[in-house]
Amino acid sequence: MVDVSPFANRLGKNIKHYLKWARRQGINAWRAYDRDVPQFPFAVDFYGERVHLQEFDTGWLMPDDEHEAWLAEVVEAICFVTGFDKSAVSVKTRRRQKGENQYEKTGEEGEDFVIEEFGQRFWVNLDTYLDTGLFLDHRNTRKRVREEAAGKRFLNLFAYTGSFTVYAAAGGAVSSETVDLSNTYQAWSRRNFELNGLDLDAHRLVRADVFQYLDDARAAGKQFDLIVMDPPSFSNSKKMLEILDVQRDQERLIDGAMALLAPGGTLYFSNNLRSFTLEPALAERYAVRDISAQSVPEDFRNKKIHQCWRIQHRS
C-alpha cells in the first residue's frame, strides 16, 4: 500500500493558502495542487464544489490493478482533506498525445454547471471532454483583455469556448468575432455569451479554419484593435484544410493576425508547447514583449504551463 500522506498533507496546506486567496479574488475555479510531490504526478483543480483530478503520464509502468488501487487512495485522500463526496471528484488520465485528442469525448456523460471568475460566468463540464471548457491558466490574460477592451474591435482566434470574448465584451468591446472550427465549441461559446448577457448581433461567432479566416478577413479589409490567439500545439483535425504545427506555423499565424491589427492595437499570442521558441524574425518585424511571468497565475506551480507575448506594430 502506497503512503498517500505526503500528497494529502501538501494538498491540505495548499488549500488553506489558496482558498482565502481565491475568495478575495472572486474566483471559484483554481488549482490546488500542481505536481508538487513528484511521486504524485497530479493536478487538482477546484471548480466550485467539484474537483477535477488529472493524472499525468510519467512513463511509470504499474499493473492495472495496482494503479486502480493507488488512484482510489488518492481520491480518498482528496475526499478526506476537502470533505467532498467521491461523486464530486472527476478523474482524468492525460497521456502524451498529439492531434485533436483535447477535443475528443471521454465516453463519460458529465453535467454542465456554472463557475464564476472575476465577475464573469462560464459553463464547464468535468467529465464529457478531456478539457473542462475553461483553461484556468489563462485567467490573468482574460482579466487583462477586459481591462484593455473598452471601445475596441476584438478578435478571438482558436477561441475554444469563447471566454476571452466574454471578458472583452464585459470590458466594453464594441464588437467582436470569435473564430473556431468546432461546432461543439461554437455552441458552447454561444451559451457562455448568453450566460453573460452579450449582444449576439455585436459579438459574432464565426465557424472557420483560422488559416482560411486570416486570408479571407485580410481580403475583406477587416481591422481589429485587440486580438487574442491561443492555438493548439498541434492539430490534424479532419475539418482543417491542413495540419497545424504551432512551432512551424507561428510566423504565418502571427503575420496573418498582425495584418488585421489596426495601428496602436495589441495581439496577445500564447501557446502551451513547452519546447516552443519564438522566431527571432518576429521580434525584428514587430514590438514583442514576453509577458509569461505575469500571465501565468500564482496558483500554478508549473510556470511553464504556457508562454504569452504582447505583440504590437512598431511605431
Q: One digit per residue, pLDDT tens: the chain, 315 residues?
A: 679 999 999 999 999 999 999 999 999 999 999 999 999 999 999 999 999 999 988 777 788 899 899 999 999 999 999 999 999 999 998 654 444 444 455 556 789 999 999 999 999 999 999 899 999 999 999 999 999 999 999 999 999 999 999 999 999 999 999 999 999 999 999 999 999 999 999 999 999 999 999 999 999 999 999 999 999 888 877 666 678 899 999 999 999 999 999 999 999 999 999 999 999 999 999 999 999 999 999 999 999 999 999 999 998
| CA dist., res. 248 & res. 246, Å (int) | 6
| Cα angle for residues 219, 310, 194 (degrees, 5° grid) | 70
Long-range contacts of 25-30, Cβ-Cβ distance < 8 Å, separation of 24 or more: 25/118, 26/116, 26/117, 26/118, 26/119, 27/116, 27/117, 27/118, 27/139, 28/115, 28/116, 28/117, 29/115, 29/116, 29/117, 29/124, 29/134, 29/136, 30/136, 30/297, 30/299
Q: Shortest CA distance to 93 belongs to which of 123, 70, 122, 111?
A: 70
| Interstrand relation of 261-271 and 234-235 (parallel, antiparallel or unpaired) | unpaired
Q: Measured between alpha carbons, how far is 211 from 152 in angstroms, rounded to an integer?
A: 23
Which strand (E) or helix (H) includes residue 52?
strand 50-56
CA torsion sign for 64, 67, 68, 69 is positive
Contact 295, 306 (CB under 8 A): yes
Cα(271)–Cα(294) distance, rounded to whole angstroms? 15
Q: Which three cell numbers stand for residue 114?
A: 456554472
Residue 92: closest CA among 72, 106, 73, 113 = 106
- Write down the pLDDT at residue 93: 84
Inter-residue contact 275 to 248 (CB < 8 Å): no
Question: Left, alpha or beta for 118 (phi > 0: left; psi -120 to 50: alpha)?
Answer: left
